[in-house]
Amino acid sequence: MTADEPAALRDLALDVAREAAALVRERRVGGATVADTKSSSVDVVTEADRASEDLIRRRLLEARPDDSVVGEEGDDHSGPSGVRWVIDPIDGTVNYVYGLPEYAVSIGAEVAGATVAAVVLNAATGTEYVAARGLGSTRDGVALRVRPSPPLAQRLVLTGFGYRTDVRAGQAARVARLLPRVRDIRRMGSCALDLCHVAEGSADGYVEEGPNAWDWSAGSLVATEAGARFGLLPGGLAAELGETGRKVVIAAPADGWDDFVALLEECGFVGRNPPSEVE
Ligand code: IPD
Ligand code: CA
Ligand code: CA
């Protein structure tokens, strides 16, 4: 990868995300219609999710036909270039359906498994979170920085829930242990935007077990380039459910990482295996 490639990938992702966000906004006029359900009756997909992903894939592969692409709503596409795009065409689909202005187009570009360029574009508000590895992250062109971490008892923590009822019951039990130990909890509804909120200093941390790469790929770079640490650790719930492969996704300002992770271990979010931080 040449030194200027992250910036070029970021600029392409931003052009494509702007086009997809316009489509997503346009399709919501008059209300979003649910096209199908996936893992459970509350895991919905709209026509706009599919149209947005089709558009993003088409535009990226027109510009860079040798790249690989993985997205939430389509089949994996494999190419020889070494660059893999990771797409969530709408992150926060339930908010989209209800008209809550917290849903985003998320596009990350990975090289050798690490995100090197990222765009998370809130399609409702137009706010653009953008990052390139080593070049920092911005919101609408202004550089982002995490907030200094207060003591744990004064931290505002973002979290999320999956769509399976057994998973949700386990997640709720962990949140019940965490809530009395921190300032408060927010469940905003978009993992990608949650990571951007940590980056911009509007939250002190994020934790959720089970999000997929398309949920966190772009947002993880926006967060780390703003001074956060990001990790995929063994999930406590995975151990309880006897499932391998589920990870707990954690982000926090670097100065608040160690005690946050220790607290999450006490509350059962993190499993007993030694943590394997990826960023
Ligand atoms: C969901 C959102 C949500 C998180 C879920 C994700 P979707 O993605 O990111 O905040 O809690 O785990 O599945 O379904 O809206 O693309
Ligand atoms: Ca998602
Ligand atoms: Ca989605």
Q: What is the pLDDT of residues 254-267, one digit of tens each?
A: 999 999 999 999 99
**53 alpha carbon, closest ligand:** 3
Whole-number pLDDT of residue 273: 53
- Give the architecture (CATH level 2) of 152-278: 3-Layer(aba) Sandwich (3.40)
**Range with lowest mean pLDDT among 9-13, 43-47, 105-109, 115-119:** 43-47
How far, in Å, is the centroid of ligand 2 from the Cα of 248?
15
Query: For 54-84, what is each residue's pLDDT tens digit?
Result: 999 999 999 999 999 999 999 999 999 999 9
Query: For 196-218, what is each residue's pLDDT tens digit?
Result: 999 999 999 999 999 999 999 99
CA distance 258 to 256: 6
Of 64, 31, 45, 70, residue with least CA distance to 215: 70
Pairing of strands 184-186, 156-159: parallel
How far, in Å, is the centroid of ligand 2 from the Cα of 122?
13
Contact between residue 236 and residue 209 where contact means Cβ atoms under 8 Å apart: yes
Task: Say what percent of the chain tops pLDDT 70.
Answer: 96
Going from N- to C-terminal start, the domains of the chain cover 5-143, 152-278
How far, in Å, is the centroid of ligand 3 from the Cα of 33?
15
Residues with CB under 5 A from ligand 3 (ion): 72, 88, 90
71 CB near ligand 1 (under 6 Å): no
Q: Which positions ≥6 away from 185 have C-beta within 8 Å? A: 156, 157, 158, 159, 175, 178, 179
Of 233, 252, 216, residue with least CA distance to 110: 216
93 CB near ligand 1 (under 6 Å): yes
Distance of CA 115 to the CA centre of its chain: 12
89 CB near ligand 1 (under 6 Å): no
Cα–Cα–Cα angle for 146, 150, 156, nearest 5°?
75
Which CATH fold topology does 5-143 show? Fructose-1,6-Bisphosphatase; Chain A, domain 1 (3.30.540)
Of 252, 253, 249, 219, residue with least CA distance to 237: 249
Q: Is-above-0.75 flag for pTM?
A: yes
**44 alpha carbon, closest ligand:** 1
Contact between residue 194 and residue 160 where contact means Cβ atoms under 8 Å apart: yes
47 pLDDT higher than 60? yes
Ligand 1 binding pocket mutation candidate from 191, 220, 249 (most atoms within 8 A of CB) = 191
Distance of CA 194 to the CA centre of its chain: 7
What does the block give as tokens for 58? 């088409």
What does the block give as tokens for 203? 């939250």
268 CB near ligand 1 (under 6 Å): no
- Tell me the C-alpha to C-alpha distance, in Å, between residue 155 and each of 134, 150, 222: 28, 6, 20
What does the block give as tokens for 37? 């359900």
Helices (H), the chain: 5-28, 47-63, 93-98, 165-178, 191-200, 213-225, 236-241, 257-266
